Amino acid sequence: MTSTAHALVLAVDDDPSILKLLRSELMSQGLQVITATNGEETLRLADEQHPDLIVLDVMLPDISGLEVMRRLRERSTTPIILLTGKGTDGDNIRGLLQSADDYLTKPFNPEELSARAYAILRRARHTDDPGAANRVTVDDLEIDLDRRVVRRAGKMIALTRTEWNLLQQLASNAGKLLASAEILSKVWGPEYRDDLQYLRVWVSRLRSKLETDDAHPLIKTFRGVGYMFDGAATSEPPSPPAAPPRASAPPHPGSTLRRTPER
């Protein structure tokens, strides 16, 4: 990915005044901006230009923004900020965020748009290098940390970039209890380190896509402390020697970290 200062944003809205506002605000912050006014044009530009971020209106004249987002997710993990109508209720917003990385309700504050755009771009830039080659597997779930791919029983599971960033942080530390503040700082940035409710929402979203058995959660909650990806997961570097299953993480000296996990 290009540096945040030169990132390319695809702004999509069929209202010329809103599109002009999006373009002006984002360009004033040093971002490059291309625009589209309908769904077909959005899909074409996304394939041709490979933007670093898409700001996408839900209401488009030819294809709904949700259908555009669904098609984009079949081929890309490009971050998406949705622009929704003022009357969108909480349940609908939760549904929208199953595939989007963030949303803004019209009318929106241009400065808030820029702030959210930069936060998403910064997170994406810091996680483009997947790190050491390995995979994490639990039963029929496979997480390829090199290729940024998640499969269950061979079938790919679509994740947003933010969901992937969170999963990567948890799965690459499988069997280790991570403090909530540490996860927030590494995935979203230090300004989010105290936003525990925000983390709960994203963990819930990730669980809904990955977990199939409520009695045996993959992501365990240690109330008041943090989260741990199932300690039974095995990290697999290329051509590893056979190894027994990893034991449960030992208690942290002088602490009460090994308390009963809760959902």
What would the mean pLDDT of 105-109 be, rounded to a whole number? 87
pLDDT tops 80 at residue 236 = no
Evaluate whether 168 touches 127 at the Cβ level (below 8 Å): yes
Higher-confidence residue of 235 and 49: namely 49
**Distance of alpha carbon 109 from alpha carbon 100, whole angstroms:** 19
Q: CB–CB of 169/161 below 8 Å?
A: no
pLDDT at residue number 129: 46
Cis peptide before 107 (omega within 30 of 0): yes
**Model pLDDT, residue 5:** 60
For β-strands 149-152 and 141-144, DSSP reports them as antiparallel
pLDDT at residue 254 tops 70: no
CB 120, CB 158: distance < 8 Å: no
- Can you name the CATH fold of 135-236? Arc Repressor Mutant, subunit A (1.10.10)
Q: Tens of pLDDT along 121-145? A: 877 665 554 443 477 888 888 888 8
Rounded Cα–Cα distance for residues 209 and 198 (Å): 17
Note whether 4-126 and 135-236 share their fold: no
Written as one string, the DSSP assignment of 205-254 is HHHHHH-S-TTS-SEEEETTTEEEE-TT-EEE-SSPPP-PPPPPPPPPTT
pLDDT tens sequence across 1-41: 555 667 899 999 999 999 999 999 999 988 999 999 999 99
pLDDT at 206: 93
DSSP structural state of residue 58:
S
Topology (CATH level 3) of domain 4-126: Rossmann fold (3.40.50)
C-alpha 42/C-alpha 49 separation (Å) is 10
- Give the C-alpha separation, 88 to 108, whole Å: 14
Average pLDDT, the chain: 79
What does the buried/exposed string (b/e) look like for 77-114 if buried means 16 or more CB atoms within 10 Å of the residue's CB? bbbbbbbbeeebeeeeeeebbebbbbbbeeebebeebb
Domain positions in the chain: 4-126, 135-236
pLDDT of residue 153: 87
Lowest-pLDDT choice from 188-192, 227-231, 241-245? 241-245
Look up the pTM and report it: 0.52
Q: Which two tokens stand for residue 157?
A: 């599971």
Cβ atoms within 10 Å, residue 197: 7
* 10-14, 149-153, 244-248: least confidently modelled range: 244-248
